Amino acid sequence: MIDKLKELIAEAEAFTAETKEDVEAFRIKYLGSKGLLKQYFAEFKNVANEQKKEFGQTINQLKKTAEDKVNILKEALESKDQEEGIYGDLSRPGEPIALGARHPISIVKNQIIDIFSRIGFNVSEGPEIEDDWHNFTALNLPEYHPARDMQDTFFIQTNPDILLRTHTSSVQVRYMESNKPPIRTISPGRVYRNEAISARSHCFFHQVEGLYIDKDVSFADLKQTLQYFTTEMFGKSKIRLRPSYFPFTEPSAEVDVYWGLETETDYKITKGTGWLEIMGCGMVDPNVLENCEIDSKEYSGFAFGMGIDRIAMLLNQISDIRLLSENDVRFLEQFRSSI
């Protein structure tokens, strides 16, 4: 009988289970009210006296082995259930991951960067919280200059010399301070102006400004650069430059591209003229070069700036600028690009 108990011990140690039902069947077989242990304990009185000690030790070993096996198998199966609860059924085929969509601002910005990088322009960036020198004074806008009123500014209340930048020209000033000509850079980024929010304007928007400084740079170089950009960006090669005023460029101009009058939308966005204003530009004022310690007698240059939001709205026929910053997934999912 003792040999039979030892066989049951070996059998219990080797037992494995795939389900909780298998474990429960094992428990009932060995530890149940009508199980094997109950039967062998009942036989104890029939065992010869000289074998009772060994028989008792063996039956207790079988009981402990069976109890330990039940506990181990239950823990293993519960752990497996928890893992499947976290990761799901690991045997199921994977589902395709939905691709995200780039923001229309990012798409247009990347397109602009790509176009200008082909002709040697690098990308420069700077802080959005700026000081008065880099945002105004160095750009030929000294304190109390009336042209400062052209840009309604967010000043930091505790320090009137600190403000949210109103254009990315401040990045160009920082770049000229730390780099010597020849300079060829574009500065994309977010800017802030204290304007009423509507379908056509916002208190923050995005710009790309370009700067080219070298010897013998002329207005003709500026026009050809902008001609190249409009052709690559819009597929429109006809542009015109209208005289304008910017404190940091002289002479200055507004750039219009001939959009055409083929559709009703064309009439609407060009107000029936076929021409659409897309940016401002001009030759860098010598005072700006001198403020950045660049010899204006030896070097000259041009600068230009455009609104990324305006171009994104134009290319995608977006009627309300507020849609670009409301984080509506239904709106954003319409824009998918590899750029």
Task: List pLDDT tens digits, range 87-123.
Answer: 566 677 767 777 777 889 999 999 999 999 999 999 9
- Rounded CA gap, 224 and 74, in Å? 78
- Rounded CA gap, 25 and 21, in Å? 6
Q: How confident is the model at residue 187 (pLDDT cuts 50, 70, 90)?
A: very high
Residue 332, number of CB atoms within 10 A of its CB: 17
Q: How confident is the model at residue 147 (pLDDT cuts 50, 70, 90)?
A: low
CA angle 195, 197, 201 (to 5 degrees): 75
- The whole-number average pLDDT for the span 70-88 is 72
Q: How confident is the model at residue 10 (pLDDT cuts 50, 70, 90)?
A: confident
Q: What pLDDT sits at residue 215?
A: 95
Burial readout 101-135 (b: 16 or more C-beta within 10 A, e: otherwise): bbbbbbbbbebbbebbeeeebeebebeeebbbebb
Q: What pLDDT sits at residue 53?
A: 79
Q: What pLDDT sits at residue 16?
A: 83
**pTM, whole model, 2 decimals?**
0.69
- Rounded CA gap, 184 and 224, in Å? 15
Bond prior to 146 in cis (omega within 30° of 0):
no
pLDDT at 339 over 50: no
- Report whether 73 contacts 24 (CB < 8 A): no
Q: What pLDDT sits at residue 128?
A: 94
pLDDT at 84 over 60: no
Q: What pLDDT sits at residue 32?
A: 81
Q: What pLDDT sits at residue 87?
A: 59
Higher confidence at residue 255 or residue 28? 255
What residues have CB less than 8 Å from 276, skipping those under 6 apart?
256, 257, 258, 259, 269, 270, 314
- The whole-number average pLDDT for the span 249-265 is 90
Residue 211, number of CB atoms within 10 A of its CB: 25
Give me the percent of the chain exceeding a pLDDT of 70. Answer: 94
Residue 142, number of CB atoms within 10 A of its CB: 14
Q: How confident is the model at residue 19 (pLDDT cuts 50, 70, 90)?
A: confident
Q: How confident is the model at residue 242 (pLDDT cuts 50, 70, 90)?
A: very high
- Rounded CA gap, 219 and 301, in Å? 9
Bond prior to 182 in cis (omega within 30° of 0):
yes
Q: What pLDDT sits at residue 337?
A: 52
- Report whether 183 contacts 301 (CB < 8 A): yes
